[in-house]
Amino acid sequence: MRRLVVDSKLENKICSFCGRPGSRRNRLAGGLGAMICFECLEWYYEDSRSSARVAKRTRPVWDEMTDTELLAKLPLIVKSAEQNQAFVIDWIGLIRARKISWAQIGSVLGVSRQAAWERFAAHHRGDDTPAKAGS
Ligand SMILES: [Zn+2]
């Protein structure tokens, strides 16, 4: 199904930092596919304002995680990656709805128009081949 708008429903999103789903009670802020819940936003804001808190951390948090904790994070990371990929597809739909050419899309991605079309057109039914579409 062709989607012409970017999906902005909170219920379909997760916080890219903790993985909790968005809702009316767990509002999310975000941009360009990444989302953050207000709890994480507050935590990272406080973190950014406290050099003592930052100095206490000398290694990445995953260095101290158990194997179980590492595995538990994997589905959240995959969901976050899928969320970002869905945003890319929505964004391409937005671009194509404005009749911006596959050549222009390919140009900003550093690939040919054919490569851009092959990568994304299948997600947007009715989007003709770049040659037939003339762009
Ligand atoms: Zn969060």
Question: What token pair was written down for 109?
Answer: 């991605």
How would DSSP label each residue in 109-120? HTS-HHHHHHHH
Total structural domains in the chain?
A: 2
Residues 6+ apart with CB under 8 A from 134: none
User: 75 and 51: one domain?
Assistant: no
**Which residues form the domain of 101?**
71-126
Encode pLDDT of 86-134 as tens digits: 999 999 999 999 999 999 999 999 999 999 999 999 887 766 666 554 4
The better pLDDT of the pair 33, 106 is held by 106
- Rounded distance from Cα 134 to ligand 1 centre (Å): 44
The binding site for Zn(2+) consists of 15, 18, 37, 40
- Rounded distance from Cα 5 to ligand 1 centre (Å): 25
User: 75 and 107: one domain?
Assistant: yes
Assess whether pLDDT exceeds 70 at residue 57.
Answer: yes
Give a yes or no: residue 135 inside a domain.
no
- Rounded distance from Cα 9 to ligand 1 centre (Å): 16
Residues 6+ apart with CB under 8 A from 111: 119
pLDDT at 55: 82
- Rounded distance from Cα 34 to ligand 1 centre (Å): 11
Question: What is the percent of the chain where pLDDT is above 90?
Answer: 58
Give a yes or no: residue 108 inside a domain.
yes
Give a yes or no: residue 40 inside a domain.
yes
Could you tell me which residues are beta bridge partners of residue 30? 35
The binding site consists of 15, 18, 37, 40
Query: Residue 102: what are its φ and ψ, rounded to 5°?
Result: -60, -30
Give a yes or no: residue 65 inside a domain.
no
Picking from 3-7, 75-79, 110-114, which range would have the lowest pLDDT averaged per residue?
A: 3-7
The average pLDDT across 33-55 equals 89
- Rounded distance from Cα 22 to ligand 1 centre (Å): 9
53 falls in which pLDDT band (50, 70, 90)? confident
What are the start-end ranges of the E strands in 7-132? 28-31, 34-37
The average pLDDT across 59-68 equals 91
pLDDT at 1: 45
pTM for this predicted structure: 0.77
